[in-house]
Structures are given as structure tokens and as C-alpha cells.
Amino acid sequence: MADLEARTPRVFLARHGETEWAKNGRYTGITDIDLTDNGVNQVSSAAKMLVGEAKLLDPSRLVHVFVSPRKRAVRTYQLLGVGDSPSPEVTEDIAEWDYGDYEGLKVGEIRELRHSKGLDKERPWNVWADGCEGGESMQEVTERLDKLIAKIKNIQEPYFDNDRAGDVLLVAHGLILRCFVKRWLGFPVDFPLEMIFSPGGISVMSYKNGNIKEPGFYIGLSLP
């Protein structure tokens, strides 16, 4: 089983490091804000421990890299030190949820704004289910992530049942990566799966039993 695990392609999810808005709880979608000094340290520390030859994220095993075009994600990719082979695909497919009219606001401010418009009379606003005025809906997020997941599976399928490495890396944002996890597992974006994803953190998705039809995620894994 351990040998099968080692041969099965993985999908690494790297969240960008801390930003000033993230630290203050502000929804940050299209705003191009850079990492704080602490954010740089978060990513650099993770890279030192987890990225490198024979480490958890071995750059020699990567066959594709997707990076959000936002400055904070591009900077995180650079700090991870995985090299430029393969060349990263910088794409809006893995950009953060577009928060539209709620950009830069905190949860309480968004709920007050919606309440003033007579919205959410039955329950409080929830980004997963309700989306954002002037921004993306749950359905729009679902559609772009499903397209990305299909692309990842097409990339990785040739690497099953052989000794070639076939790992993929995504460098992006906290909310969209949590949405990605839900869609990877086949759950709707508003499925109540509570997740914690620290700034600068790295998560690992893969396939159970070495089967591309059984996407899963690691709740614990042994380090190389």
C-alpha cells in the first residue's frame, strides 16, 4: 500500500502567506495586495521544511503548476522555491472568489449592508451559498473549479500505474482552495465542511487506492 501511495499522483494546495487585509479579516478578491513580512516568513518557513528533493513537495515530481495571477499568490510561488520547470500556468481559474461589492469588507459589515437592503431575513448571509452582489455566485465558482479539476485529472491520468511522478501544485487563496477541496471530493461548494487553512500552509489531495475515480485527501501522511 505504501508503494502504491508513493506512485499515486498528488495535488498540492499552497495558500499564500499573510496579507494586511487577511490579518484584519477583510475579504480580499481582486485587490492586488502584497504579503506582509510575516507572510513572507510563513511561506519561507514552510518551504524550508517541506519543499525540496526527497521532501514532502519534491519539485522533481511536479508536472504542472497553476498559480493565481494575484501578486500575493505569485510572490508565494516564488518563495516556495520549486523552480520554473515546469513553467507555472498563471490563470484566473484558481483566482480568489470575486467578492464584487463586498471587496475589502468584513463579515459583519457585509451582513449589515445586506440587512439594509432587506436581504437575508431567514438566515445570515453565507458566502458559500449566497455568493456576492456584483461578484461571483456559487454556481460560477463551481463551474470554473470543475473545469480546473477536469484539466488536472487529464494531466495526471497518464501517470497512474507506472513509476513516473505526476504531481500538480496549485498556489492560490484561502477561500477558493477550500472550495476546490469540496469540489474535488464531489461536495457542493456550500456543503458544511468546516476547514482551517493557515496562511502559508500546504495541503495534499490525491486518489484513494491509486484510482483516479476515487479522489480523496490526506488527513495525515508520513513524511519522506
**Structure confidence at residue 221 (pLDDT):** 84
Q: Give the whole-angstrom CA distance, residue 51 versus residue 42.
A: 13
Bind-site residues = 28-29, 72, 96-99
**Structure confidence at residue 165 (pLDDT):** 84
Report the chain's C-alpha Rg in angstroms.
18
What are the grid coordinates assigned to 115, written together? Answer: 440587512
Q: What is the pLDDT along the chain (224 residues), one digit of tens a residue?
A: 457 677 899 999 999 999 999 999 999 999 999 999 999 999 999 999 999 999 999 999 999 999 999 999 999 999 999 998 899 999 999 999 999 999 999 999 999 999 999 999 999 999 999 999 999 999 999 999 999 999 999 999 999 877 788 999 999 999 999 999 999 999 999 999 999 999 999 999 999 999 999 999 999 888 77
Helix or strand or coil: residue 13?
Answer: strand
Residues taking part in catalysis: 16, 96
**Structure confidence at residue 185 (pLDDT):** 97
**Structure confidence at residue 2 (pLDDT):** 53
- DSSP annotation string for 166-197: -EEEEEE-HHHHHHHHHHHTT--TTS------
CATH number for the region 2-217 comes to 3.40.50.1240
User: Residue 65 contacts by C-beta under 8 Å, 6 or more apart in sequence?
Assistant: 77, 82, 86, 87, 88, 89, 168, 169, 170, 171
Q: What is the pTM of this model?
A: 0.95
